[in-house]
Structure 1
Amino acid sequence: MQTPQTKEERMRPNALGRTIAGVIAVAGIAAGSVATAGTSFAATTGTAQTAAAAQPAAVAATQNFGLTSAEAKNVQNFLADYWGYTGAIDGQLGTNSWKAFQRCLATYWGYTGDIDGDPGPNTIKALQRLLKDDYGYTGAIDGIAGAGTRAAFKRFAA
């Protein structure tokens, strides 16, 4: 007669379960990579895994830098009125919001990077120049969206 399993033993995955889960994960990665590779060639599993691992990280979905949704909607309305933003006024500063903001920052505030929608250090430096001139930012132009940058950005968005 078999002894009943303890709770810990029932919760611990068995070796076969781990193996099956690993195979499914590898197959899913390979299938997704091959599906996005196009119809011109089919990648081997090893190539597909390497390609998936080598892809750059995507731009963050949204970056509000401490703004509430209502404040971010104010920014999106400004961007829609003056800088060609055509996306949803949803209070989420995503890639298209930041592309429009980068156009503004490139025109007036010294932004020289790509219009890529990534609010990285160069975008933040240009934003800090805008905030320093008109919205009470007193910190360094350092490309870091710290407390002072966020407070001034809230004043901009009000």
Structure 2
Amino acid sequence: MRAVTRTLVGAGTAVGIAVGSLAAAGTGAAATAQDTKPAVAAESVAPLAVNNLGLSKAQAKNLQRVLHRDWGYPGPIDGLLGTQSWQAMQRYLKKHWQYRGPIDGIVGSGTVKGLQRMLKQHYGYRGAIDDIAGPQTKAAFKRFANDHG
């Protein structure tokens, strides 16, 4: 009886290995085909970075309304300062506040410096133009957003 059981188990194992190898071969072929042409572009699924620099959603909506009206912001007025909001802000900073970087929607050092220049001139920012969006920068940015509400 044991010999029969070993033979059946051995045969079952061999079939399982063969089926598994075929399945793996099919999966490998599918993976190769999939790698050559993605079903969805990475840009369409990547989340947009949101950086409100301390603004509440209501304050960010105030800013988005100005950016929509005057600086080509095409997105929703949702209180989330994402790439499109910051691109519009960079257009404003480039025209008036010596921003020299790309219009890429990334809140980098050039964007913060341009923002600090504007805030220093009009919204009580007293800190250095140092590209650090610290508490003084954020407080002045809130005054700017509240002023446009």
- Normalising by structure 1, report the TM-score: 0.64
Structure 1 pair 31–79 and aligned structure 2 pair: CA distance change class (3 A): farther
Q: Structure 1: which 5+ runs fail to align?
A: 1-26, 39-57
Task: Return the offset for 1:86.
Answer: 1.2
Q: What percentage of residue pairs aligned between the two structures are identical?
A: 55
Q: How does 1:17-96 map to 2 (within 5 A)?
A: 34-36=36-38, 61-96=49-84
Residues 26-81 of structure 1, C-alpha deviations (whole Å, 9 max, x = no match): x9xx998654499xxxxxxxxxxxxxxxxxxx896100000000000000001011
Partner amino acid, structure 1, of 2:121: D
Is the alpha carbon distance of 1:126 and 1:70 closer, same or farther for their aligned partners in structure 2, counting shifts above 3 Å? same
1:144 CA displacement: 0.8
Looking at structure 1, the residues matched to 60 and 112 of structure 2 have their Cα atoms a distance apart, in angstroms, of: 16
Give the letter aligned to residue 109 of structure 2: P
> Structure 1 CA distance, aligned partners of 2:66 and 2:110?
21
Instruction: Determine which structure has the larger helix proportion and give its number.
Output: 2
For residues 149 and 100 of structure 1, the distance between their equivalents in structure 2, rounded to whole angstroms, comes to 19
CA distance in 2, matches of 1:111, 1:82: 17
Q: Whole-Å Cα distance in 2 between the matches of residues 139 and 32 of structure 1?
A: 53
Which of 124, 132, 136 is the aligned partner of 1:148?
136
Higher relative contact order (CA 8 A, sep 6+): 2
1:113 paired to 2:101: yes
Rounded to whole Å, the distance in 2 between the matches of 1:67 and 1:120 is 17
Q: What stretches of structure 2 of length at least 5 have no aligned partner?
A: 1-27, 41-45
Structure 2 match to 1:125:
113
- Number of residue pairs matched by the alignment: 113
**CA–CA distance in structure 2, aligned partners of residues 31 and 61 of structure 1:** 31
Root-mean-square deviation over aligned CA pairs = 2.7
Distance 1:138 1:34 in 2: 54
**Which structure's CA Rg is the greater one?**
2
Asked if the contact 1:66–1:154 (Cα under 8 Å) also holds between the matched residues in 2, the reply is: yes
Partner of residue 18, structure 1: none
